[in-house]
Amino acid sequence: MPAPIPGFPVDIGPAYEGERIRKKMMYVEFGGLKVDRKFELVVACDPEEVEDGKVEVIGPDLMELEEGGSYPLGIIVKVAGARVERDLEGVIERRIHEFINYIEGVMHVNQRDQIWIRISKKSVKKGLNSLKYIGQALVYLFKTVMPFIEKVEVTLITDPELVGKYLEELARPRYEERDRKALAMRDEDVDTFYGCVLCQSFAPTHVCVITPERPSNCGAISWLDARAAANIDPKGPIFPIPKGKCLDPVKGEYDMVNEIVKQRSMGKVERVCLYTMFKYPHTSCGCFEAIAFYIPEVDGIGVVHRDFRGKAVNGLTFAEMAAQTGGGLQTEGFHGLSILYMKSRKFLQADGGWKRVVWLPSALKERLKEAIPADLYEKIATEKDVSNVEELKKFLIEREHPLAEKIKAMEEEEAKAAEEVEAAEARAPAAVPVAAPGAVVQPIRVTMHNVRIRVGRLVIRRRR
Ligand code: SF4
């Protein structure tokens, strides 16, 4: 697709989707982990409230920012049209991700109040020297790709105070209102779920299955949003999935979901159980808001969200776990999900739901206060309570977490196994031949290919 806007300094088109801009290539970045104040928001308006084509930058523009820095950014897109309604806001908003990625030398990641945008030095050199170009591209692409949108106006805010103000007073209340509406329904009440393949440009086998009680991984598209999108744009990336026969109500397995996910993932994913992170879990793309991770030492589940900057209780950061979770794969034990799903009645219900959760970052725990059963709230550890799995075990036992008895039993079993190993070592003669004094001992190298090793329990003990 050639540059469609007269005087636009760089190319625009799907070919640039998936373009990565590394730190050394970037001119500046907006949002991301280093910046607290960031958001993008689409607001459905009456036609007279939108000045079609207007793009405004409030605060310092690109050339006024120091190269290499990280800055706050708020993007507000006002849209209007005879068929534009509030139920479509979430879906239109999600396309900001795709459209900004169409711009040569601009990378957009995540959504809502987690956005992260990088602009390359190369594109700045070519003339992309103002944020107004991002606004112009959004106006053009929204009207071209979603022609039911008749008027578009874009405001890009970099003034830190104003970004914070709009985030708290406009964007977050709007996200919360959408989420409340979305979770008012139950999966059993509908006969159609929805699928989304928007993230296949990054994760080719990923298919989001969006149900009233299992919202999309990115958290930006609820079942209501998906229904509205599929109605207004039947050829778009969101499509209906008739539920078909329920094969397992606890795990959330449906025959038509399996069939359609298989087709849309090009045969790579054959079964999906919607409410579990273990056998045949929902695929994870890369846009998930949080990762649920299994902690075998306590047989529990931790959840870490994107904004958490430290190491989780398993010693890994969000980014390190994301590397094992994304790409459209079904990864047992690491599971991408949205924060909205954690407020759902179906949240990992096949795995024990909240009774199985043992660790959360304190900020996420606070954010989910209303959703966590009151009797469990104080029993879930955070980074303020424990910093490793051994401390976690003690915490869970002390607080009488539902897994406490199991953890005690596991510890007893471990101690017994260790004693058995010790006794066996004491009884057994040395099996390794001892080299004659002065002889040269040749090391043995064993190379294995295509081997998967499963270890039930590994006890490493120092030899006395
Ligand atoms: S995470 Fe899922 S719902 Fe969200 S844009 Fe990607 S595929 Fe669509």
| Mutation to probe ligand 1, out of 196, 197, 206, 261 (largest number of atoms < 8 A from CB) | 196
Reported as a single tens digit per residue, the pLDDT across 417-439 is: 888 888 887 877 655 555 565 55
Query: Mind listing the pLDDT tens digit for each residue in 303-341?
Result: 999 989 899 999 999 999 998 887 888 888 999 999 999
Identify any residues that bridge with 26 across adjacent strands, giving them in sequence order: 120
Specify the pLDDT at position 385: 98
> Are 168 and 32 within 8 A, CB to CB?
no
Domain boundaries, the chain: 14-178, 289-325+352-426
pLDDT for the residue numbered 2: 46
Question: So what's the pLDDT on residue 376?
Answer: 98
Q: Nearest 5°: CA angle at 179, between 175 and 182?
A: 140
pLDDT average per 10 residues of sequence, the chain (464 residues)? 77 89 96 94 97 98 97 98 92 94 95 95 97 97 94 98 98 92 90 94 91 93 91 92 96 97 94 96 91 97 94 95 86 92 96 98 95 97 97 97 96 88 76 56 54 62 58
- CB of 211 within 6 A of ligand 1: the answer is no
Q: Is 218 in the pocket of ligand 1 (CB under 6 A)?
A: yes
Query: Residue 288 CA: which ligand 1 atom is closest?
Result: 1
pTM comes to: 0.77
How many Å apart are CA 209 and CA 129, to the nearest integer? 39
Quote the pLDDT of residue 432: 53
Residue of minimum CA distance from atom 4 in ligand 1? 218
Q: Considering only the top CATH level, what class is 289-325+352-426?
A: alpha beta
What was the pLDDT predicted at 447?
A: 54
Look-up of token digits 């979603």: 146
Q: Residue 133 to residues 46, 103, 104, 129, 140: CA-CA distances in angstroms?
A: 25, 9, 11, 8, 11
Residue 307: CA count within 13 A, CB half-sphere: 18
Query: How is 377-410 classified by DSSP, letter by letter?
Result: HTTSB-TTT-SSHHHHHHHHHHTT-TTHHHHHHH
- 14-178: CATH topology is 3.30.1650
Q: Which pLDDT does position 423 carry in this prediction?
A: 85
How big is the chain by its Cα radius of gyration, in Å?
26
**Alpha carbons 179 and 341: distance in angstroms, whole number:** 10
**Residue 16, token pair as written in the block:** 């640039």
pLDDT of residue 337: 95
Q: Is 287 in the pocket of ligand 1 (CB under 6 A)?
A: yes
Mean pLDDT of the chain, nearest integer? 91
What is the per-residue burial (b if ≥16 Cβ within 10 Å, else e) of 206-226?
Answer: bbbbbbbbbbbbbbbbbbbbb
208 CA closest ligand 1 atom index: 2
Residue holding tokens 């904004």?
307
